[in-house]
Structure 1
Amino acid sequence: MPRTLEGQITMEKTPSYFVTLEAPKRIYNMSKDTKLIVVVRNPVTRAISDYTQTLSKTPSLPTFQALAFKNTSTGTIDTSWSAIRIGIYAKHLENWLQYFPLSKFLFVSGERLVSDPAGEMERVQDFLGLKRVITDKHFYFNKTKGFPCLKKPEGSSKPRCLGKSKGRPHPDIDQRLLLRLQDFYRPYNMKFYQMTGHDFGWGGLMSSENSL
């Protein structure tokens, strides 16, 4: 981490930290005052998105069904596959709470980042103790990518949108298997809601629309 002067905030983003067993202790030893922002989304959609991203780099990858299920007939899910395991948020959070109190966390909804980016960014700015500079004037919705893009309110520069690796259409997956995945995650989701005090609304099945 770079040195931070008084009045500055240093931010670092590495998604794998949240699911890495050793990360909480190491970060705590570096600075127990670290504030932690965790962006989460429906774990079923997250797993499919993870697969879609990997498939774009490895076209020979087996199907999502083959990787997610040990047996599609019985619906037995392979929790050893990282795309599935990462979505068990409650388990990962338990590891972090051994070192950091819940007050050090801000949980950001991935779905709301798309539907209301300014609202979620207000929460981030408040959490970091910053003046609310980023507002709805900084965003517009890009229908082609299916996501909001960032712009300067003065309109003096080109909008910043997600890169080419984002917004890919998800593969078609048997609805029965998607429902099985939703059932698998439900108890973990409920525990995560209880742990964070926030209902993310993942009870229903997410669509296979363009996704992060």
Structure 2
Amino acid sequence: MEKTPSYFVTREAPRRVHAMNRHTRLIVVVRDPVTRAVSDYAQTLSKTPGLPSFQALAFKNTTTSSSSSSSSSSSTPTLPWGLVDTSWSAVRIGVYAKHLEAWLRYFPLRRFLFVSGERLVSDPAGEMGRVQDFLGLKRVVGAKHFYFNQTKGFPCLKKPEGSSRPRCLGKSKGRTHPPIPQGALQRLREFYRPFNLKFYQMTGQDFGWD
């Protein structure tokens, strides 16, 4: 078993994985693409002081007038944030339907398990049960192996009896996200909505992102 986030979005990866083993089972963990983009930005910001604002990176020809969207009475929504910049990797990665299309050229849907990142936090045992079933494994990891870390905001994995400390996410995880204008987040939700719906149809799962 091996994992890396870049596999799903790398153009050459489906062909190369298929050439290695066409029977490979593929587990894809996805989360709300807007939340994921902000998380990606927060991680980069922690390593790159002085980074431009999230909205400056996420949109082309950004204007900062937040009042224009709220004051408009037209049935056509105004776009004060400009066009979404899909050349920015934090935005591009969240177009899951497009990336999945590339993988489905090489692997049938039955070779995939799509894990909800949100449910992995709220119900880790349930999602891990699905993973074990998908891999044809006996269900060994269950509810008793998890507890919620209030400080991090994520579950921790309890090690087997006799082991030392539980395994929690590292220092780089669970960081506070920078404040992002609500108008910018809403504009991104509008951008992702059709792609999310297509992804739901392709996978047969409704992840509830809006």
TM-score normalized by the length of structure 2:
0.90
Deviations 1:53-91 (A, max 9, x none): 111111121110110011233331111000000000000
Alpha-carbon shift at residue 142 of structure 1 (Å): 0.4
Indicate the SS of the match to 1:149: strand
Residues 1:25 and 2:32 are matched in the alignment: no
CA contact (8 A) 1:32 1:100 kept: yes
Q: 1:127 to 1:174 in 2, by over 3 A?
A: same
Alpha-carbon shift at residue 15 of structure 1 (Å): 0.8
| Residue of structure 2 equivalent to 1:66 | 56
| Percent sequence identity over aligned pairs | 78
CA contact (8 A) 2:159 2:167 kept: no
| Residue of structure 1 equivalent to 2:208 | 201
In structure 1, C-alpha distance between the alignment counterparts of 2:160 and 2:25, rounded to whole Å? 28
Residues 1:117 and 2:124 are matched in the alignment: yes
Residues 1:101 and 2:91 are matched in the alignment: no
Runs of 4+ in 1 over 6 A off after TM superposition: none
Alpha-carbon shift at residue 14 of structure 1 (Å): 1.1
Matches within 5 A, 1:105-184: 105-152=112-159, 154=161, 156-184=163-191
Deviations 1:73-114 (A, max 9, x none): 333111100000000000000000000000000000000010
In structure 1, C-alpha distance between the alignment counterparts of 2:164 and 2:14, rounded to whole Å? 39
CA contact (8 A) 1:55 1:61 kept: yes
Deviations 1:126-180 (A, max 9, x none): 0000000000000000000000000035364211000000000101011011000
CA contact (8 A) 2:147 2:158 kept: yes
Which region of structure 1 is more displaced relative to structure 2, 156-165 or 187-196?
156-165
CA contact (8 A) 1:46 1:87 kept: yes
CA contact (8 A) 1:43 1:185 kept: yes
* Counterpart AA for 1:53: Q
CA contact (8 A) 1:17 1:23 kept: yes
In structure 2, C-alpha distance between the alignment counterparts of 1:141 and 1:42, rounded to whole Å? 21
* 40, 56, 59: which one aligns with 1:50: 40
Indicate the SS of the match to 1:182: helix
| Residue of structure 1 equivalent to 2:24 | 34
Which region of structure 1 is more displaced relative to structure 2, 155-164 or 57-66?
155-164
Indicate the SS of the match to 2:115: strand
| Residue of structure 2 equivalent to 1:7 | none
